[in-house]
Amino acid sequence: MISNELRRFIQKNKKPLLGAVVLLAVIFAFLGGSILSLFHNKSELKKLNRQTVQLDEEYQRLSQKLNLLKKEDPQYLEHLARTRYHMTKPGEMEFRFQTK
């Protein structure tokens, strides 16, 4: 329910209020798409920045693994042989269990 004071204000200032509404509608018509595009681009930039951080971390991990392979680090090579290729030392037995 609109109060009497508000009604009087609207009646008294009908033309300037209508002009302001029309001006806002015109501005939104021209800039509305740009504003929505700006918000979309900002959210896309945040997403890409997070992805960049993740890729940088993955690059660091892979670079460390590559360095270990280039150095032929015996502990790392043994770890790879045992975990990835299921190799065992002579006299050892490997047990594999299926998990559900």
Residue 49 lies in a domain: yes
Residue 13 lies in a domain: no
Residue 72 lies in a domain: yes
Is 84 exposed, middle or buried (CB count within 10 Å of its CB: 0-12, 13-18, 19+)?
A: exposed
Predicted confidence (pLDDT) at residue 20 exceeds the cutoff of 80: yes
Residue 90 lies in a domain: no
| Tally of structural domains, the chain | 1
Query: What are the Cα distances from residue 47, in Å, to 52, 72, 83?
Result: 9, 38, 34
For range 46-66, the mean pLDDT = 97
The half-sphere exposure of 76 on its side-chain side, counting CA atoms within 13 A, is: 10
86: three-class secondary structure by DSSP: coil
pTM for the model: 0.54
- Which of 64, 93, 68 minimizes the C-alpha distance to 78? 68
Task: Please check whether residue 76 is in contact with residue 69, taking contact to mean a CB–CB distance below 8 angstroms.
Answer: yes
Q: In the numeric block, which tokens belong to residue 67?
A: 């360095």
Residue 28 lies in a domain: no
Instruction: Name the strand (E) or helix (H) holding 11.
Output: helix 4-12
Residue 21 lies in a domain: no
Q: Which range marks the domain in which residue 63 is found?
A: 39-85
Residue 25 lies in a domain: no
- Residue 1: pLDDT band by 50, 70, 90 thresholds? low
